[in-house]
Amino acid sequence: MQYMIGKSSNQNQRDLFKPLLKEFINLNHELVLLSNKIDWNYFEKEFSPLYSKTGKPAMPIRLMVASL
């Protein structure tokens, strides 16, 4: 049984009027550089067992950890 972890949206088709985040942020900003160095799979593996196996899917683990 899968844990109810929210997944990030992965849309291959672009929205004409909705730019991607990476198109208007500074890719050399310290937080962007730091996020590229973090092993997000580690957090996914460690926190997955803490999520319920039933109910509404939660927010993605990356969002939860990044907001700390």
Interval 15-50: pLDDT, tens: 777 888 888 899 999 999 999 999 999 998 999 888
Number of domains in the chain: 1
- Of 9, 12, 2, which is closest to residue 63 (Cα–Cα)? 9
pTM > 0.75: yes or no: no
pLDDT (0 to 100) of residue 68: 81
> Is 31 contained in some domain?
yes
Confidence grade of residue 11 (pLDDT, cut at 50, 70, 90): low
CA atoms within 13 A on the CB side of 50: 10
Answer whether residue 62 is part of any domain: yes
Q: Report the pLDDT value the prediction gives residue 28, as an integer from 0 to 100.
A: 95
| Domain membership flag for residue 2 | no
In a domain, 54, yes or no: yes
pLDDT of residue 38: 93
40: containing domain: 25-66
pLDDT at residue 7 tops 80: no
